[in-house]
Chain A
Amino acid sequence: AQTVTQSQPEMSVQEAETVTLSCTYDTSESDYYLFWYKQPPSRQMILVIRQEAYKQQNATENRFSVNFQKAAKSFSLKISDSQLGDAAMYFCAYRWRGNYGQNFVFGPGTRLSVLP
């Protein structure tokens, strides 16, 4: 069974600084998707970034970028120039491409605080 681990339950970063959230996953599959979702205090789940496993190039989305290491099964999220609005729970998620009946697997989340 696939699992997703986020080893940092909580992290903090100074405003305008850079922070990296870690995510590792366990799978025997080679074709899958990885995602980072953000859940601010408003409770809304927001997609931050998506990575296809077959793509070697790391995905980027404005201040958000990932470091995808397929062999190591690692998928970290880097937030540059942190802003107060980045404070939220961040969830890493995995989805195998092969079977519609398989679900998304979410990690336990990392709570990010941004200090002014």
Chain B
Amino acid sequence: DTAVSQTPKYLVTQMGNDKSIKCEQNLGHDTMYWYKQDSKKFLKIMFSYNNKELIINETVPNRFSPKSPDKAHLNLHINSLELGDSAVYFCASSFNPLYEQYFGPGTRLTVT
């Protein structure tokens, strides 16, 4: 009965590669998010989609591209991975952009 799921949970890859992280929610929520948590545990929003429409696009490199094929999915694709991309990436969803968010388990990305 996983509410917000992410795959993979761990991802180790080399610099320059392209990778994707998938996110799915079965809560019937309209809004989904991607966050980056750095080594100091600071949580920073990257993107937010409401009804498949981008509503928040913080200053992130354009190597990061979110894709929302439907309301239940928000995938994150990262091109040309760099060492500084190493972090834990969290997907989250909420009933609408104003309500509390439910988080996935996180994906720990390590770029070597």
Contacts and interface: CB of A to CB of B under 8 A. Distances in A.
Nearest to B53: A100
A47 B100 contact: yes
A42 B41 CA distance: 13
Interface string A66-100: 00000000000000000000000101000101001
Contacts, number: 53
B45 A47 contact: no
B106 interface: yes
Interface residues of B, number: 26
Interface string B48-86: 101000011010000000000000000000000000000
A91 B43 contact: yes
A101 B55 contact: yes
Given A89-B41, A106-B43, A47 B56 contact: no
Interface in B32-49: 33, 40-45, 48
Contact of A104 (B40, B42, B45, B102): B45
A33 B42 contact: no
Nearest to A46: B103
Contacts of B108: 43
Contacts of A95: 98
Contacts of A39: 41
Nearest to B9: A43
A100 B98 contact: yes
Given A100-B50, A109-B41, A47 B102 contact: yes
B103 A44 contact: yes
B100 A35 contact: yes
B105 to A, nearest CB: 5
Given A33-B100, A95-B98, A43 B56 contact: no
Given A108-B40, A108-B41, A109-B43, 11 more contacts: A33-B98, A33-B100, A39-B41, A43-B105, A46-B103, A47-B101, A50-B100, A89-B41, A100-B96, A101-B97, A106-B42
14 contacts: A33-B98, A33-B99, A35-B100, A37-B103, A39-B41, A43-B106, A43-B108, A44-B103, A47-B102, A100-B98, A102-B97, A106-B42, A106-B43, A108-B40
